[in-house]
Amino acid sequence: MTRIRRTLALVLFTVITFSLHAQSKYSAIDKSPMDASYYPVNYPILKIQDKATDPLVARVIYSRPQKNGRVVFGELVEYGKVWRMGANEATEIDFYKDVKINGKKIKKGRYTLYALVNPDKWTIILNSETDTWGAFKYDMKKDISRVEVPVTKNTELVEALAIQFEKEGAGFNLVVAWDDILVKLPVTL
């Protein structure tokens, strides 16, 4: 009887150990989950519903840090320092066709988005270095474009960083909103 109990205990211990090990091989849910936005807005949904009337022009992939009671701009995101426009991996934007930003032609391709944040204006930076974490390896020599955009106060308090697109005239805006701040980067086709 004792031998059976020992064998059962050993089997139970082995099962629990393997179960815990199997569970630990997956990452926990990130505090700043990744998200994506498209232009035209909701393009993937429109495409599967056969309602997409315009081709895909842009997609941005970014991590969404949250305010969590912190002072965002000026403290968490320091003024005058290069910011990855999100958390974790640096935010990336894909252009599926050539576009213009501030009158400059931007070739179709993938770029990293950075920002120099100040209280009254941001400098939005498109950089050719992709697949990087944070802004630790930011290299100004790889900048494709730098555009100053004004900061406006948002009428809505935004808890988690939001980046999305909105149609505007002959193009669209890349809209960045977090806390009580809103900036828009105009893009023309």
95 pLDDT more than 80: yes
Model confidence at 48, in pLDDT bands (50, 70, 90)?
A: very high
Is 58:99 a contact under the CB 8 Å cutoff? Answer: yes
pLDDT for 1 equals 58
Edge-to-edge strand ranges of the sheet holding 171-188: 104-106, 99-101, 171-188, 152-168
Q: Tell me if residue 21 falls in helix, strand or coil.
A: helix
First-to-last alpha carbon distance for the chain, in angstroms, is: 80
The least confident of 5-9, 26-30, 149-153, 182-186 is: 5-9
Buried/exposed 76-107: b ≥16 CB within 10 Å, e otherwise: ebeeeebbbbbbbbbbbbbbbeebebeeeebe
Lookup result for tokens 């900036």: 183
pLDDT for 116 equals 97
